[in-house]
Amino acid sequence: MNTRTESQRCLQRIEKTLDTETLLGAGSASFLLRLGQHFPRLYDLLSTVYQDVDDFDLVMENLVRILLDCYQERPDRLKKKDEQRLGDPQWFKSENLVGMACYVDLIANDLQSLKSRIPYLSELGISYLHLMPLYKAPEGDSDGGYAVSDYRTVNPSLGTMDDLRELSEALSEAGISLVLDFVFNHTSDEHEWARAARAGDPEFSKYYYLFDDRSMPDAYERTLREIFPQVRRGSFTYLEDRDQWVWTTFNSFQWDLNYSNPSVFCAIASEMLYLANAGAEVLRLDALAFIWKELGTTCENRPNAHKLIQAFNCCLQIAAPAVVFKSEAIVHPDDVVKYIEPEECQLSYNPLLMALIWNSLATRKTRLLNQSLSHRFAIHPDCSWVNYARCHDDIGWTFDDGDAAAIGLDGYDHRLFLNRYYTGGFEGSFAVGLGFQFNPENGDRRVCGSLASLAGLEEALGTGDKSLVDMSVARILLIHSIILSIGGIPLLYAGDELAMLNDYSFQEDETKKHDARWVNRPRITEEALAEAARPGTPQNRINVALRQMISLRKANVVFGSGKTRILPTGNDHLFVYQRVHPEAGNLAVVCNFSDHPQMLDKGILQPMGLGDRAIEQVSGEHLDLHSIESLKLEPFQFQWLMAD
Ligand code: OTU
Asked if residues 185 and 256 have their Cβ atoms less than 8 Å apart, the reply is: yes
Per-domain boundaries in the chain: 106-289, 350-555, 561-643
Quick one: which atom of ligand 1 is closest to the CA of 391? Answer: 4
The 10s digit of each residue's pLDDT in 19-46 is 877 777 777 889 999 999 999 999 999 9
pLDDT at position 444 is 85
Give the closest residue (by CA) to ligand 1 atom 4: 393
Give the closest residue (by CA) to ligand 1 atom 3: 286
pLDDT at position 55 is 92
pLDDT at position 442 is 83
Quick one: which atom of ligand 1 is closest to the CA of 436? Answer: 14
The 10s digit of each residue's pLDDT in 302-327 is 999 999 999 999 999 999 999 999 99
Quick one: which atom of ligand 1 is closest to the CA of 143? Answer: 8
- Å from CA of 449 to ligand 1 middle: 16
Give the closest residue (by CA) to ligand 1 atom 17: 287
The 10s digit of each residue's pLDDT in 549-600 is 999 999 999 999 889 999 999 999 999 999 999 888 899 999 999 999 999 9
| Active-site hit among 143, 328, 344, 403 | 328
Does position 229 have pLDDT exceeding 90, yes or no? no
106-289 against 350-555: fold identical: yes
Which among 189, 328, 434 is the best mutation to test ligand 1's pocket, defined by most ligand atoms within 8 Å of the CB? 328
Question: Beta strand pairing status for 128-131 and 177-182?
Answer: parallel
Is the ipTM value over 0.90, yes or no? yes
Quick one: which atom of ligand 1 is closest to the CA of 228? Answer: 13
Please report which confidence band the pLDDT of residue 609 belongs to, taking 50, 70 and 90 as the band edges: confident
- Ligand 1: list residues with CB < 6 Å: 143-144, 146, 183, 227, 250, 286-287, 289, 328, 330-331, 392-394
- Å from CA of 111 to ligand 1 middle: 24
Query: In whole angstroms, how far apart are CA 494 and each of 354, 517, 628?
Result: 16, 14, 41
The 10s digit of each residue's pLDDT in 176-204 is 999 999 999 999 999 999 999 999 999 99
> Bigger pLDDT: 231 or 94?
94
- Å from CA of 455 to ligand 1 middle: 23
Give the closest residue (by CA) to ligand 1 atom 23: 287
Distance of alpha carbon 211 from the chain centroid: 32
Q: How confident is the model over 439-448, as a mean pLDDT?
A: 88
Which among 330, 334, 445 is the best mutation to test ligand 1's pocket, defined by most ligand atoms within 8 Å of the CB? 330
The candidate with the shortest Cα–Cα distance to 273, out of 65, 529, 60, 517, is: 65
Give the closest residue (by CA) to ligand 1 atom 21: 330
Q: Has 572 been annotated as catalytic?
A: no
CB neighbour class for 582 (10 Å; exposed up to 12, middle 13-18, buried from 19): exposed
Does position 281 have pLDDT exceeding 90, yes or no? yes
Handedness of CA 340, 342, 344, 349 (dihedral sign): positive
Please report which confidence band the pLDDT of residue 644 belongs to, taking 50, 70 and 90 as the band edges: confident
Question: Beta strand pairing status for 622-624 and 585-592?
Answer: unpaired
The 10s digit of each residue's pLDDT in 491-524 is 999 999 999 999 999 999 999 999 999 999 999 9
- Å from CA of 256 to ligand 1 middle: 13
Under CATH, what is the fold of the domain 561-643? Immunoglobulin-like (2.60.40)
How far apart are alpha carbons 318 and 25 in whole angstroms? 18
When the candidates are 3.20.20.80, 3.50.50.60, 3.20.20.210, 3.40.50.1970, the CATH number that belongs to 106-289 is: 3.20.20.80
Give the closest residue (by CA) to ligand 1 atom 18: 393
pLDDT at position 25 is 72
Q: How confident is the model over 232-236, as a mean pLDDT?
A: 91
- Å from CA of 227 to ligand 1 middle: 8
| Active-site hit among 226, 286, 458, 459 | 286
Please report which confidence band the pLDDT of residue 605 belongs to, taking 50, 70 and 90 as the band edges: confident
pLDDT at position 4 is 74
When the candidates are 3.20.20.190, 3.20.20.80, 3.40.50.720, 3.40.50.740, the CATH number that belongs to 350-555 is: 3.20.20.80
- Å from CA of 233 to ligand 1 middle: 17
* Residue 125 falls in which region: left (phi positive, over 0), alpha (psi -120 to 50) or beta: left
- Å from CA of 287 to ligand 1 middle: 6
In this structure, what are the phi and psi dihedrals at residue 642, rounded to the nearest 5 degrees? -135, 155
Which amino acid does the sequence have at 625?
L
Give the closest residue (by CA) to ligand 1 atom 6: 393
Among 253-257, 395-399, 437-441, the range scoring the smallest mean pLDDT is 437-441
Q: How confident is the model over 364-371, as a mean pLDDT?
A: 98
Mean pLDDT rounded to a whole number for the chain:
96
Give the closest residue (by CA) to ligand 1 atom 5: 393
Give the closest residue (by CA) to ligand 1 atom 12: 146
Does position 1 have pLDDT exceeding 60, yes or no? no
- Å from CA of 67 to ligand 1 middle: 29
Does position 91 have pLDDT exceeding 70, yes or no? yes
Asked if residues 531 and 539 have their Cβ atoms less than 8 Å apart, the reply is: yes
| Range 47-55, long-range pairs (CB < 8 A, 24+ positions) | 47/3, 47/6, 47/7, 48/307, 49/259, 49/304, 49/307, 49/308, 49/311, 50/262, 53/262
Which among 182, 232, 286, 517 is the best mutation to test ligand 1's pocket, defined by most ligand atoms within 8 Å of the CB? 286
- Å from CA of 448 to ligand 1 middle: 13
Q: Has 413 been annotated as catalytic?
A: no
